[in-house]
Amino acid sequence: MLRLRFGKHTFLLMGDAERRMEYAMLDSLGPADVLKVGHHGSKTSSTEVFLEATRPAFALISAGKDNLFHHPHTEVLQRLQGMHAEVLRSDEWGLVTMRTDGNRLTVEQHRYGN
């Protein structure tokens, strides 16, 4: 897990963290503007209590198109929608890049070809 703050914005990059790691971090977490969702959006990550603690505005999910594990999991997507996070998925969007100058956040995407 990596937490980055630049200016007004906080990024939380979860790597392959799952439920147990999320619970272990709860006391040290706060809101995050951008959450890179853990473990490709598997149902063992992004628990409700974790999302309540971080309240991300944007949730980035790195998952291969038509992947064998069917990531991201429907339950994770529903939890993120319940938090009103804007979900950006690499399996749908292709390459997703979030940038900040410390004040504004911008999103760049390069969609997969047809």
Structural tokens at position 50: 């974790």
Q: Which of 17, 5, 12 is nearest to 46 (CA)?
A: 17
Confidence (pLDDT) at 35: 96
Structural tokens at position 13: 């990059």
Per-residue pLDDT of the chain (114 residues; tens, 9 = 90+): 899 999 999 999 998 888 999 999 888 889 999 999 998 889 888 999 999 999 999 999 988 888 787 889 999 999 999 999 999 998 888 899 999 999 999 999 887 665
Structural tokens at position 98: 């979030």
What is the residue extent of each domain of the chain?
2-110
36 bridge partner residues: 13, 60
Confidence (pLDDT) at 29: 86
Confidence (pLDDT) at 113: 61
Confidence (pLDDT) at 70: 80
| Three-state DSSP class for residue 34 | strand
**CA atoms of 39 and 20, how far apart (whole Å):** 12
